[in-house]
């Protein structure tokens, strides 16, 4: 195990990696419940999506761990599944089989742009100040996700407001947050995982941790054949391209899927990988000069690319690298062994669903908030007294939380960077890739407005 994952070289141990894997899994395990709930609104069978979600997460995360040897987990992306359901199927009136076909094509496109080094060119072209902003922005985003998961912030009056602490969920969340802070400050080994487990147990007398809404495996396996391979039936590829008049809309939709998927992943890798040393300066340099899969970043991007197509074949929306991986990284995860542990947990979750799905978001939200606090440290590297550097950094960091999208945060940073550099007469110093990506984002915004 030491030789395969290079544990000593990465300054970690087997026990640390296992703890990190469990921490990441519990932080993102909500997806096995939430994803089927969202996608079934399109007419997809709940049980089929439930198993497809688990299989796609397990396969994608296992490839990430064994091939790329990095501690990232993958699963159906939140936001992307909502776009799949509410915009593509319910809004644009595509069938779920046609939507899955577009997701599959999106995965193939991502494989192509990874193999041809387009994604790596994008990463290499991002200015260092924006890379730090993306890292800090991911921290704000992760903490914000944790707060929203338990309703700490509400929008009942039309504007964000702090909720009253009069619900058991918020009481359990506060207990978990305080416990996570204390254990982290005291450098207790496995403190984040301990906080999740103890908080889940504390939630029992509060009625927050219950088995009443847990998931049963009964009947799910019988529904998987309905989603598995649906894209290759007459309702998939043939139906999607049967009407030439809809072809422009199909292309635009695939483009929207691809943009969000690509930049969610790039943002997660940059935001969590640089400061922790998972992706070293050598890895980033290899992006410029390497041929083939010469670095961990190369392999991680490829692993992420194939996961989306695998997920579409089994029956789920875009599979992407999860920002909740930051929880495991915060717990010390540094190698692919963390990912392997997460993959094993997903495999077991199909059979232990009643127990695993009973862990409430209140038990993991505090950990996400604390991990977000740790990641915001990247913002200190930005020259905030230089307004030309501060403006793009601000939009990149803050937009991630305000728009609930890593992609839109990056879009805001890129566009403002181009604007600021143009105003300073330094437009030629902006990498052509940044100009192209900014233009694509603007086109994406315009198209979505017209849709």
The H helix count followed by the E strand count for the chain is 22, 4
pLDDT value at residue 213: 56
> How many alpha carbons fall within 13 Å on the CB side of residue 110?
34
Q: Would the pLDDT of 243 be above 70?
A: yes
**217-233 tens-digit pLDDT:** 777 788 899 999 999 99
Confidence of residue 275 (pLDDT cuts 50, 70, 90): low
**151-160 tens-digit pLDDT:** 999 888 778 8
Give the Cα separation of 411 and 395 in Å (integer): 9
Q: How far lies 323's CA from each of 47, 61, 189, 228, 363, in Å? A: 26, 13, 22, 27, 17
What average pLDDT does the structure give for the chain?
A: 86
**178-207 tens-digit pLDDT:** 999 999 899 887 788 888 889 999 999 999
Q: How far lies 317's CA from each of 45, 184, 342, in Å? A: 14, 35, 20
162: helix, coil or strand?
strand
The model carries a pTM of 0.76
pLDDT value at residue 377: 82
Q: Take residue 30 and report the two structure tokens written for it.
A: 């909500």
CA max distance for the chain: 64
Bridge-based pairing state of the strands 74-76 and 153-154:
unpaired
Confidence of residue 248 (pLDDT cuts 50, 70, 90): confident
pLDDT value at residue 252: 78
Proportion of the chain above pLDDT 70, given as a percent: 94
Bridge-based pairing state of the strands 319-321 and 74-76:
antiparallel
Phi, psi of 13 (to 5 degrees): -135, 170
Q: Would the pLDDT of 288 be above 60?
A: no
Confidence of residue 335 (pLDDT cuts 50, 70, 90): very high
Strand runs (DSSP E) across 276-386, as ranges? 319-321
- The winner for highest mean pLDDT among 31-45, 97-111, 184-198, 393-407 is 97-111
pLDDT value at residue 365: 87
74: helix, coil or strand?
strand
> How many alpha carbons fall within 13 Å on the CB side of residue 28?
34
Confidence of residue 274 (pLDDT cuts 50, 70, 90): low
């Amino acid at each position: 195990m030491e030789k395969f994952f290079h544990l000593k070289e990465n300054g970690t141990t087997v026990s640390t990696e296992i703890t990190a894997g469990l921490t990441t899994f519990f932080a993102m395990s909500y997806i096995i419940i939430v994803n089927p709930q969202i996608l079934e609104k399109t007419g997809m069978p709940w049980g089929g999506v439930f198993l497809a979600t688990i299989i796609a997460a397990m396969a994608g995360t296992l490839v990430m761990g064994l091939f790329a040897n990095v501690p990232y987990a993958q699963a159906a992306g939140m936001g992307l599944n909502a776009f799949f359901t509410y915009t593509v199927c319910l809004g644009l009136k595509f069938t779920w089989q046609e939507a899955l076909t577009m997701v599959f094509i999106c995965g193939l496109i991502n494989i192509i742009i990874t193999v041809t080094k387009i994604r790596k060119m994008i990463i290499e072209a991002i200015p260092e100040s924006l890379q730090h902003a993306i890292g800090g922005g991911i921290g704000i985003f992760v903490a914000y996700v944790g707060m929203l998961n338990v309703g700490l912030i509400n929008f009942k009056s039309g504007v964000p407001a702090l909720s009253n602490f009069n619900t058991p969920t918020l009481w359990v969340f506060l207990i978990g947050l305080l416990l996570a802070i204390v254990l982290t400050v005291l450098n207790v080994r496995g403190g984040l995982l301990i906080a999740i487990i103890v908080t889940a147990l504390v939630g029992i007398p509060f009625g927050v941790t219950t088995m009443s809404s847990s998931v049963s495996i009964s009947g799910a396996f019988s529904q998987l054949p309905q989603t598995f391979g649906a894209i290759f039936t007459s309702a998939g590829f043939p139906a999607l391209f049967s009407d030439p008049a809809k072809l422009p809309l199909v292309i635009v939709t695939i483009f929207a899927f691809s943009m969000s998927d690509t930049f969610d992943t790039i943002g997660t890798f940059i935001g969590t990988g640089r400061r922790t040393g998972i992706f070293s300066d050598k890895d980033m340099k290899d992006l410029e000069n390497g041929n083939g899969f010469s670095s961990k970043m190369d392999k991680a991007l490829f692993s992420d690319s194939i996961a989306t197509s695998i997920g579409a074949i089994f029956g789920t929306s875009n599979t992407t690298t999860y920002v909740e991986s930051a929880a495991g990284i915060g717990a010390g995860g540094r190698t692919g062994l963390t990912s392997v542990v997460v993959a094993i947990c997903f495999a077991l979750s199909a059979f232990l669903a009643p127990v695993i799905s009973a862990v409430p978001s209140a038990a993991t939200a505090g950990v996400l908030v604390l991990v977000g606090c740790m990641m915001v440290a990247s913002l200190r590297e930005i020259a905030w007294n230089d307004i030309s550097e501060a403006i793009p950094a601000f939009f990149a960091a803050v937009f991630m939380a305000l728009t609930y999208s890593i992609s839109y945060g990056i879009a805001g940073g890129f566009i403002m960077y181009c604007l600021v550099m143009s105003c300073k007469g330094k437009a030629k110093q902006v990498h052509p890739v940044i100009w192209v990506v900014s233009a694509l984002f603007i086109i994406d915004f315009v198209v979505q407005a017209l849709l």
